[in-house]
Structure 1
Amino acid sequence: MSKKLIAMDNELIRSSYVLDVSELKLIYTALSKLDSSKQIEPRTAIYITKNDYVQLGTNPKNIVREVRYACEKLMKRTLVINTEIGDLYTHWMHHVWLLKSDDLTDLMNNYEDAKKLLRPNIAHQKMVLDILKELKTCDENLVARIEFHDDILPFLSALQSHFTQLRLDDLKNLSTFYSHRFYHLMMQFNSTGVCKLSLMELRKILLLEDKYSQTKDLRKWVIEPAIKEIREKTSFFIEHKLIKTGQRYTYLELKFKQKKTIEIKKAKAISSDAIELSEAQISKYSSILSRINDMSDLSTFPTYDAFALWIANILRDPKSVRDETAKRIFKALRTHTDFKK
């Protein structure tokens, strides 16, 4: 699984369903093996390997059990896609084949005579032979063969517009269903960094029904934990705001930015204030700054000399402290000393 991005139509992003994280991983793995820009034919087989799951952060010892659980659950799951002509009720998968490694090994060792080894009346005989062909070209251990439901394929293939890209490197770090869904929803608006939706729609998307009917409970158990995990474990900084209509909260607004973008902006802000000084200047002005009253609140040091050493390190490397602190030091250098740039 070498792809870093997967894609879904926006209608699928905003569809209504509930899945476990293990089921989501199975879907992500399958999508990583498809070219979403091209038409995907019905009954297209997708082969899942152990290595695919390792790359999504699964413990190698738990892979077979997790894939089996995900496959069994996902076959029974339904979802509701709100289309322009009404709600489509359907399934994620058309077909799932959990592969038994011992049986595959026996057949693989006798691949040329596989047709003879298979019982004449075995169902899906062609499918078994296709699996063996795949196994011959695959260096990893196959664990499953899946097919997306025909109803789902239009929302996964030939995507030219109105689709959302999701980053696997972010998704693999998220541990709850709500975190994954919030990430999906915000990434639909990645170009603007602002996602706004009604609480009614949010409840529908998450299939909450009467659960967490009070906004305070929705915020405590759904919104805030998801936002916290996305902020801590993905490449995005995110904040949220609940918006009132009259006396009631009716909308949720998410604002987010890539962390690298934020860090670059901070670095630029610091560098615009920072000044390159010689060691002689650093020694001179750190001593002066350590004795300025306006700087005394920054000191937790027992002597002026110790405080001066701390300031000297900041003058050498402004990024060693918070940007607000660095800005104060360099501002004081300009306004409280005889230094001239």
Structure 2
Amino acid sequence: MEKTKQAVAKKATEFDATSVERSSGDRWINMSNALTRAGHGLSLAEKRLVSAAVSKLDSRRVLKPGEVPVTKISAAEYAEAFDVDIHTAYDQLKASADALYNRSITFFEPAHKRSGKPLEPTMVKVRWVGKAKYHRTEGWIELHWWPEILVALTDIQGQFTQYQLRQASTLRSIYSWRLLELLTRFKSQGWAQYTIEDFAVSMDATEKQRADFAAIRRKMIEPAVKELQEKDGWKIEWKPIKAGRRVKGVRFEFQRDPQGRLDLSDDKSASND
């Protein structure tokens, strides 16, 4: 195992970031707003891998019928993108390769009414990939995208969320990353409001956490807000929306300076993005 890692480390010295369209940190992630709101079901390492791969897709390209893109990520690329050493990159790629095939995206479709009565939404799950290949000695993973997820990643013409990979590269919490996506979706208006049900799904909250808003506040919202403010130049204020004693939603007011300099003015409705 150690010899294998040394071989990967040697290959890292040969990695040329100019061999891709642009350096990994400067690439953009584009996804439909519907995908932004969905539960992604990924660990932090898996989110890193999927996002690095998404950033290499052409979101404007119309795929040919039956075409399924294949995206390759090397340990050297991963290390460069997320500022980790090559051994960490190797370990995280291997673990992600083992787990990613079984990961799925969760979202809800409105159900048709029967006899004028509303029905509960239908839960839908879609895989991220149909195949994941990992080469141990060369240290790369190859993702064969699941066809049904491609509509949310390519040929995006209307409502979509876009941010640079470098914005999330230093984050150490999957909740911070998901909150970044949820806020970026509304960056032009400077505020976002979600029902607690939608927010819980997007943050991949467990059933136990969904029944306890204090847990969502303590484990997800507060640490995520703090990390985004410290690492990606956000100014965020948030509050729970209540109906009586029950929390029915969360509202965020925010702005972000692309250079990481916070605007400490009192105008909370402006967005510097």
TM-score (norm 1): 0.62
2:31 paired with 1:8: yes
User: Cα distance 1:250–1:25, how it changes in 2: closer, same or farther (>3 A)?
Assistant: same
> Conserved in 2, the CA contact under 8 Å of 1:13 and 1:185?
yes
Greater share of residues in helix: 1
Q: What is residue 32 of structure 1 aligned with on the other side?
A: 55
Separation of aligned partners in 1, 2:217 and 2:145: 34
2:175 paired with 1:178: yes
Q: Deviations over 1:4-55 (max 9, x none)?
A: 3210011111112321111011111111111111124532211112232122
Q: Deviations over 1:194-234 (max 9, x none)?
A: 11001122122324212252222221122111111111111
User: Cα distance 1:34–1:252, how it changes in 2: closer, same or farther (>3 A)?
Assistant: same
Q: What is residue 251 of structure 1 aligned with on the other side?
A: 249
Alignment of 1:84-163 (within 5 A): 87-101=123-137, 143-163=140-160
Q: Which amino acid aligns with 2:130?
A: H
Q: What is residue 231 of structure 2 aligned with on the other side?
A: 233
User: Cα distance 1:266–1:145, how it changes in 2: closer, same or farther (>3 A)?
Assistant: closer
Q: What is residue 40 of structure 2 aligned with on the other side?
A: 17
Separation of aligned partners in 1, 2:91 and 2:160: 32
Question: Shift of the alpha carbon at 1:148?
Answer: 1.0
- State which of 212, 221, 224 in structure 2 corresponds to 1:223: 221
Unmatched runs of 5 consecutive residues or more in structure 2 = 1-19, 112-121, 266-273
Unmatched runs of 5 consecutive residues or more in structure 1 = 102-140, 268-341
RMSD: 2.3
The structure with more radius of gyration: 1
Q: Which amino acid aligns with 1:161?
A: G
Aligned length: 228
Q: What is residue 270 of structure 1 aligned with on the other side?
A: none
> Conserved in 1, the CA contact under 8 Å of 2:256 and 2:262?
no
> Conserved in 2, the CA contact under 8 Å of 1:18 and 1:207?
no
Q: Which amino acid aligns with 1:50?
A: A
- State which of 74, 85, 89 in structure 1 corresponds to 2:100: 74
> Conserved in 2, the CA contact under 8 Å of 1:71 and 1:96?
yes
**What SS does the corresponding residue of 2:68 show, helix, strand or coil?**
coil
> Conserved in 2, the CA contact under 8 Å of 1:10 and 1:164?
yes
Question: Shift of the alpha carbon at 1:62?
Answer: 1.7
Separation of aligned partners in 2, 1:19 and 1:255: 26
User: Cα distance 1:264–1:19, how it changes in 2: closer, same or farther (>3 A)?
Assistant: closer
2:46 paired with 1:46: no
> Conserved in 2, the CA contact under 8 Å of 1:5 and 1:168?
yes
TM-score (norm 2): 0.76
Q: Which moved more, 1:227-236 or 1:80-89?
A: 80-89
